[in-house]
Amino acid sequence: MMRERVQQYFTQFQNALRNLEEAVQYAKTDIEIDGTIKRFELCYELSWKLIKEYLADLGLICKNPRDCFRLAYQNGLIANDQIWMEMIDARNRLVRTYSAEESREMFIDIKEKFLHELKYLYDKILNAGQI
């Protein structure tokens, strides 16, 4: 069994992912798209913290998203490390700049690329049989 901390992150990630899926499905207006982006940010933060704790249980230590995503890829938790690196860049752009055009582009990336990768991570950890 995983440690309680991993289970807590998994449950939080599960809820955030469910909320993100719903937002992606229904968002049409600018405010709904902005809300979807906020939900993505939360999902992203929880995903790397979940990965960090999950890998720690395997004796693998990572301290930042980039290192955690690399280790997660090497250990089969994520399918496409390049898309996860794009997520890092996207998350960093959100912190620094904001424009309506950029938010639309971000929404498309979330819908067409990022959500799939987040769901893959969820399925991998769920099916590891330890949660």
19, pLDDT greater than 80: yes
Global pTM reads 0.93
For residue 34, how many C-alpha atoms fall within 13 Å in the half-sphere facing its CB? Answer: 6
Average pLDDT over residues 121-129: 91
Count the domains in the chain.
Answer: 1
Per-residue pLDDT tens over the stretch 39-87 = 999 999 999 999 999 999 999 999 999 999 999 999 999 999 999 999 9
Cα gap 51→56, rounded to integer Å: 8
- C-alpha triplet 12, 131, 13: angle, nearest 5°: 15
User: Which tokens in the block code for residue 69?
Assistant: 């995503």
CATH of the domain at 86: 1.20.120.330
**Segments forming the whole domain that contains residue 75:** 4-127
- pLDDT reading at 30 higher than 80: yes
**Does the structure show a pLDDT above 80 at 108?**
yes
